[in-house]
Structure 1
Amino acid sequence: MNDLTLPDPGVEHVRDALGDAGVYKALLESTKAIPWKIDWASKRFAYIGPQIEALLGWPQGSWQTVEDWAARMHPEDRDRVVGYCVSQSQAGVDHEADYRAMTRDGHYVWIRDVVHVVRRPDGEVDSLVGFMFDISERKKAEEELLRLHRELEQLSMTDGLTGIANRRMFDLRLENEWGEARRSGNPLSLVILDIDRFKQYNDAHGHVAGDECLKRIAGVLRGLAQRARDVVARFGGEEFILLLPDADEDAAGRMAAACVDAIADLRIPHAGAGAGIGGFVTASLGVGTARPGPDAAARAFVAAVDQVLYAAKSGGRNRIEMLEQG
């Protein structure tokens, strides 16, 4: 076979080197990629491969102008893709664009357009040539990977036993809400709740019952925190924490009281030593409200509320203690 020396990778040189326009055309139309050419001055298709009909259903002859191309694009993609391609073409920059193209029967196929800008000797844009590629399967794979990533991310932020937020999620949300409270001057409240004598509960009822107890309490706490920015998290062991943005002392106190009532309404029997009131599971709560200044630290606030929780426990349990405002 004779070597072909191609002085330039451009389309015309390839055709000249092959020496047969029919062979050149057959090569282009035998690939799954769809070749096309647009005259820049008229914005009309000079050519588009017949493969377009097999992919999208639109007849080859129906691709007359760039308006046909734009009209057959998903509305959510159209402005972004058309604006990008026009600006890059005007600048004479080769580019790629991914978008959803509409089939003749109203479905959509993911397309990647790879565009080469052809210039005249004076530097002005003469035409655009390129290939369309069907990337639907690749997009499906990417979307599946993204879905799995989101699921894994969600799992990493969720307590495996109770299904509520875990400590990692709480720490992230606290950092964000602390910064927002500092900027806005609005209050931020915490309720930290610890199940009374939970070790004795496990000893008396077993760890399976202990897990069920934790899940039931997590469920009622989640039901109480209805606002979009509220966070209910398992803080560790038998300890739960509620993050309440834009909640002042009164609102936080009402939430704590509602938690006590909701746990009492569960009437979970506690047969262990030193069981709660009436032989049912109870909890102790610490409550605090902060209005963060420039030097205030979120961790110090959490530690302070945790201290009043333990004051509630040492003061007799099944109690609410409020952090005094400095």
Structure 2
Amino acid sequence: MVFHIPGRVFFMYRDLLMNLTLIISFLSISGQFFKESPMNATRRNQIFSGILAGILGCILMYFSINVTDILIMDLRNFTIIIATVYGGILSGGIAAIICIFGRVLLFGINPGSIGAVISIIVLIIVCGLLLKTKMSTFNKFMGMNGSSVIIMSILFIDLIDDPEKLRQALIYFGFISTIGGIIIYSLTNYISYSNANFRKLRLFEKVIDTTNQGVTITDKQGKLLYINGGFTRITGYHSNEVIGGSHRILQSGHHDKVFYRKMWDDLTKTGQWMGEIWNKNREGQVYPELLNISEVQNKHGQTVNYVAVFSDITEMKNTENQLKEANEHLQKLSSIDGLTKISNRRTFDTSLEKEWNQALRYRHPISIIMLDIDYFKKFNDTYGHLGGDECLIRVAAALSDTVNRSSDVVARYGGEEFAMILPDTNEQNALHIAEKVRSNIELLNIPHKNSLISDHVTISAGVVTIFPEEQIKLVELLLHADQALYKAKEHGRNRVEIYQI
């Protein structure tokens, strides 16, 4: 509209406020386009935001105020400023170019259009210079807005001859630009902040959803409000199957009510619970999981939600079991003789010390039998080492078959020498066992043609029985057993001798 009468100031304010309303509406709508990424994130965004701002500038010019026949008043300067501050100089430049062409196309080439083109060019140059400074975003925005008011004021002064019109134009444009600048900056900053928070939330949601761990959020009563993709991958349940329900759907029956009551008691007291639990997936398969539950409080310290994070630790458990089995196997290998598969010297020494201490504590007797295959060197020379190994294996098996208590220890002491530990066994029973061993070895009928006492393999054995006392050393027990064995060899072999304490 053209105004020549000061009484129409109301319409000037109305049209400028319409411009301001259009900008606010545009910002609200365009903010949705840049929810996923900001205006200056990519060159494509910069170009797109510049085009949108330029189109808005043309719309504002279409709804402008005709101050004179060749001069219009509008708020297109804000479109260039917004594009520059939030989209960069490329975005602002595109908006400025579109506004220049729009001014000429809408109103033709005249002194007003030429002045408008010059003012736009000067404004984008000033905006570019301010953009490179280290000022805060607010200061940059207001600096560009102030510059645009000065540029437009110079244009008004140059093109408006009527002092009253000039005064009105300067006052109203300056007032609306200043107030509008604060409003537009606040709204733009709010939209940018909201979009940034939206992107953060989307990022967090994406991270949580793609993690291998299951994540759930419940209310204070335990009703499921959220599950992530990890929950679905581990349990097989989708959100439409469990949202509104509870974790009870996962219970496997491996834990009783006492377990769950203690879990929630600990959670209530400390605000957190972590441990292993066995749950059941959608297919009915039971699996172990490592579960961490934390409470979420409001600003008043009241619990409002619970967040649970869990992992399927089936593979970890399988690995643990494999390592445990491997360790047990290694321990077994380290405790037995590789050839005869009975206890080795190391196990014998450890077991003897243990049983000695037990006998000392409870005042029980302990017996030791030392055995040696008679003329074993001649056996090896005659039948070779493979024959010798076979002989050792058969003798060891016969020794193991002779004793039937789990506490008794049969060991290969070294070479062709064997030893037996008989806890809580008196001298008479020890002698009986030794004789039975000697007899069983004979019954094997292992040929030994070069033996000096028999045509088959025999053994000599020494037995010692003792009630341990503090002043008696363990080494004495072994020494006495060895002395009894030596005595059996001295007296002709293939016999059992007892060391008399």
Q: CA deviation at 1:225?
A: 1.7
Partners of 1:108 and 1:81 lie apart in 2 by: 17
Q: Structure 1 residue 195 and structure 2 residue 195: aligned?
A: no
Q: Structure 1 residue 161 and structure 2 residue 303: aligned?
A: no
Q: Which amino acid aligns with 1:54?
A: R
Query: What do the CA deviations read for 1:99-157 (whole angstroms, capped 9, x no partner)?
Result: 33223444332311133343455656554323111222222222222221211111111
Partners of 2:489 and 2:396 lie apart in 1 by: 20
Q: CA deviation at 1:246?
A: 2.1
Q: Which amino acid aligns with 2:400?
A: R
Partners of 1:49 and 1:151 lie apart in 2 by: 42
Q: Which amino acid aligns with 2:469?
A: G
Call closer, same or farther: CA 1:89–1:276 in 2, change over 3 Å. Answer: farther
Q: Structure 1 residue 101 and structure 2 residue 279: aligned?
A: yes
State the secondary structure of the residue aligned to 2:294: strand
More strand by share: 1
- Decide whether the 8 Å contact of 1:98 with 1:112 is kept in 2: yes
Name the TM-score, length of structure 2 as normaliser: 0.55
Q: Structure 1 residue 52 and structure 2 residue 228: aligned?
A: no
Partners of 1:182 and 1:16 lie apart in 2 by: 80
- Decide whether the 8 Å contact of 2:213 with 2:231 is kept in 1: no
Partners of 2:195 and 2:327 lie apart in 1 by: 49
Partners of 1:16 and 1:261 lie apart in 2 by: 93
Bigger mean CA offset, 137-146 vs 236-245: 137-146
Call closer, same or farther: CA 1:156–1:43 in 2, change over 3 Å. Answer: same
1:12 corresponding residue in structure 2: none
Q: Which amino acid aligns with 1:32?
A: N
Query: What do the CA deviations read for 1:252-280 (whole angstroms, capped 9, x no partner)?
Result: 111111101110011111122x4332x11
Q: Structure 1 residue 288 and structure 2 residue 288: aligned?
A: no
Identity percentage of aligned residues: 32
Q: Which amino acid aligns with 1:271?
A: K
Call closer, same or farther: CA 1:247–1:36 in 2, change over 3 Å. Answer: same
2:485 corresponding residue in structure 1: 309
Q: Structure 1 residue 178 and structure 2 residue 356: aligned?
A: yes
Bigger mean CA offset, 183-192 vs 222-231: 183-192
2:151 corresponding residue in structure 1: none
1:323 corresponding residue in structure 2: 499
Q: CA deviation at 1:39?
A: 4.1
One of 436, 443, 452 as aligned partner of 1:275: 452
Q: Structure 1 residue 218 and structure 2 residue 435: aligned?
A: no
One of 107, 110, 119 as aligned partner of 2:288: 110
Query: What do the CA deviations read for 1:163-220 (whole angstroms, capped 9, x no partner)?
Result: 1110111112112222222222222221111111111111122111111100000011
- Decide whether the 8 Å contact of 1:18 with 1:24 is kept in 2: no
- Decide whether the 8 Å contact of 1:190 with 1:243 is kept in 2: yes
User: Which stretches in structure 2 are left out of the alignment for 5+ residues?
Assistant: 1-36, 39-193
Q: Structure 1 residue 29 and structure 2 residue 223: aligned?
A: no
- Decide whether the 8 Å contact of 1:275 with 1:281 is kept in 2: no
1:148 corresponding residue in structure 2: 326
Query: What do the CA deviations read for 1:80-117 (whole angstroms, capped 9, x no partner)?
Result: 96477445423426453233322344433231113334
State the secondary structure of the residue aligned to 1:112: strand
Larger relative contact order (CA 8 Å, sep ≥ 6): 1
State the secondary structure of the residue aligned to 1:268: coil
Q: Which amino acid aligns with 2:453?
A: G
User: Which stretches in structure 1 are left out of the alignment for 5+ residues?
Assistant: 3-14
Instruction: Give the superposed CA RMSD.
Output: 2.9
Partners of 1:65 and 1:110 lie apart in 2 by: 19
Q: CA deviation at 1:302?
A: 1.8
State the secondary structure of the residue aligned to 2:487: helix
- Decide whether the 8 Å contact of 1:100 with 1:110 is kept in 2: yes
State the secondary structure of the residue aligned to 2:342: coil
Count of aligned pairs: 307
State the secondary structure of the residue aligned to 2:431: helix
- Decide whether the 8 Å contact of 1:92 with 1:117 is kept in 2: no
- Decide whether the 8 Å contact of 1:190 with 1:305 is kept in 2: yes
Partners of 1:241 and 1:33 lie apart in 2 by: 56
Partners of 2:302 and 2:477 lie apart in 1 by: 65
Query: What do the CA deviations read for 1:259-314 (whole angstroms, capped 9, x no partner)?
Result: 01110011111122x4332x111111111222222343333212211211111111
Partners of 1:250 and 1:47 lie apart in 2 by: 76
